[in-house]
Amino acid sequence: MQAGGLDLITLNKADGVWTVTINRPEKANSLTLEMLTELVEIAKSASEARALILTGEGKVFSAGADLDEARAGLAISEIWERLSGAIAALPCLTIAALNGTLAGGAMGMALACDIRIAVPSAKFFYPVMELGFLPQPSDPKRMSALIGPARTKLILMGGQKITAQEAYEFGLVERLAGSDELMLKALDLCADTVAADPKIALGIKALCS
């Protein structure tokens, strides 16, 4: 999808690693239905990838739904669940390289990844109580599996915005990395998997499920 001559979702394929970048920094990388549909299509086609990295352009990973489209119903659309489900179903290693704040429905795609790394300035929040709707069904389950039910309720029911350091201490993210080394760290985490026999990587991922 393009706007003003720019690709709002970019895909780079190199050495078995697919890097998907949300490229709408002037709108805090908020997501439209077209952008989400493109992300779903990429995720569904990524079975040939050895690893997939999700990241964003600028200082925010994603603020969630585009405000205008959220008011029209995008915030509660099933497209979010389709996206997280497509990511979770991938046989390859999936990494969310969070270049900044992660909010709302965009949380789902990061929760569906195998590994999450974030810059120290990132914030994490999911204001469903404030906005008056339920999160997508798989998001609380995946979040609870990572950080436990009480901390999940702290975020979802208590409406708390947590820092990257808190996210790391909770287990919501596995590593912190400066903005200048975030993608290098993500690629480094892919290296062993990309170099290994695909059957071994697939087998390990299956055993961890």
Burial class (CB in 10 A: 0-12, 13-18, 19+), 158: exposed
On the CB side of 25, how many CA atoms lie within 13 Å of its CA?
A: 10
Q: pTM for the whole thing? A: 0.94
144-188, pLDDT tens digit by residue?
999 999 999 999 999 999 999 999 999 999 999 999 999 999 999
Which range (9-13, 24-28, 37-41, 69-73) has the least confidence?
Answer: 69-73
pLDDT band, very low/low/confident/very high, at 6 (cuts 50, 70, 90): low
Q: What is the greatest pairwise CA distance in the chain? A: 47
Rg (the chain; Cα; Å)? 16
- DSSP-assigned beta bridge partners for residue 60: 101
H/E stretch holding 17 reads strand 17-22
114-138, pLDDT tens digit by residue?
999 999 999 999 998 888 888 999 9
Please tell me the CATH code under which domain 2-208 is placed: 3.90.226.10
Say what the pLDDT of residue 129 is.
85
Q: How far is CA 166 from the centre of its chain?
A: 18
Residue 3 has pLDDT above 60, yes or no: no
Each domain of the chain, given as residue ranges in start order, spans 2-208
Q: Could you tell me the sign of the dihedral formed by the alpha carbons of 127, 129, 133, 137, in that order?
A: positive
